[in-house]
Structures are given as structure tokens and as C-alpha cells.
């Protein structure tokens, strides 16, 4: 179960990375509307998203459906951390508290899944 939960968590991390890449891509100027979508960064991000959905599916081999979406909430944590590192986004006190609360909720729910 733990192995599969880790696969799912890895998928959530990959999805978060691709969100950051999409955000980075959105900040750039493009010559045309099509180029906004058909450029290496955006296309790469979608390949990552596909990989993430594959990880999620593999995780579900053992992770209960009732726990999957709760584990996926770790995405908020990754996006906050990666956003701070790569986009210079601030983590306010309230946001930081929220991240800790999410982690607490995930731990509580995981204990209930045993």
C-alpha cells in the first residue's frame, strides 16, 4: 500500500511541476495564438500531466478511491513550494498554516485507511 501511495504522491508532484511550467510559459509573449499552445514548454507540460495521470492510475492499484483525492491534496503543498522557488511567489502566514493543516488532514485520513 505504501509503495502505491508513494507512486500516487510522485504523480501529484509531477502534475505540480507541470503547473509551474505552464505558468512560466504563460508569462512569455508569443507571436500567435497557436504558438501559445504549440511550444516546447506547454507541450512538455502536457506530457508531464499525462505521466502524472499514469502514476495516479498505478497508485490506484492499491490505494483506496476514498484516499486518492486526499493524497492528491499534496499538490497544493508542491505548488506553493515550487511557486516560491521558481516564480518568486510568496507564502503568506495564512497560506503556510493552510499547508500544515492539509498535511495534518492527510495524515489523519491515512490513519483511518489502515
Partner 1 sequence: MKDKIKWFVFLHIIILMISCSSISSKMAALNMPSIKGLMFYSITVFILGVYAIAWQQVIKHLPLITAYANKAVTTIWGLIWGYFLFHEKITPLKLIGAAVVIFGVYLVVSGDETTDENQEFLEKGADNND
Summarize as ranges the residues that interact with partner 1 (CB under 8 A).
49-50, 53, 56-61, 64-70, 72-73, 76, 80, 89-113
User: Of 6 and 58, which CB lies nearer to partner 1 in the complex structure?
Assistant: 58
Q: How far is the CB of 91 from partner 1 (least distance, A)?
A: 8
Which lies closer to partner 1 via its Cβ, residue 30 or residue 89?
Answer: 89
Nearest to partner 1 of 24, 51 (CB atom): 51
Rounded least distance, CB 21 to partner 1, Å: 14
The residue (of 38 and 112) whose beta carbon lies closer to partner 1 is: 112
For the chain, report the end-to-end CA distance as a whole number of angstroms.
10
**Residues in CB range of 91: below 8 A, 6 or more apart:** 80, 84, 99
**What is the smallest separation between the CB atom of 25 and partner 1, expressed in angstroms?**
14
Per-residue exposure over 6-21, b if at least 16 CB sit within 10 Å of its own CB, e if not = ebbbbbbbbbbbbbbb
CB of 46 to partner 1, least distance (A): 9
Of 69, 70, 72, 85, the C-alpha closest to 20 is: 85
In this structure, the chain runs to a length of 114
Amino acid at each position: 500500500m505504501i509503495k502505491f501511495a508513494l507512486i500516487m504522491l510522485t504523480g501529484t508532484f509531477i502534475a505540480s511541476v507541470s503547473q509551474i511550467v505552464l505558468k512560466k510559459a504563460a508569462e512569455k509573449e508569443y507571436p500567435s495564438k497557436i504558438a501559445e499552445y504549440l511550444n516546447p514548454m506547454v507541450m512538455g507540460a502536457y506530457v508531464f500531466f499525462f505521466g502524472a495521470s499514469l502514476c495516479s492510475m498505478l497508485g490506484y492499484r492499491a490505494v483506496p478511491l476514498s484516499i486518492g483525492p486526499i493524497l492528491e491534496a499534496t499538490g497544493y503543498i508542491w505548488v506553493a513550494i515550487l511557486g516560491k522557488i521558481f516564480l518568486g511567489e510568496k507564502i503568506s502566514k495564512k497560506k503556510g498554516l493552510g499547508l500544515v493543516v492539509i498535511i495534518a488532514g492527510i495524515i489523519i485520513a491515512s490513519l483511518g485507511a489502515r
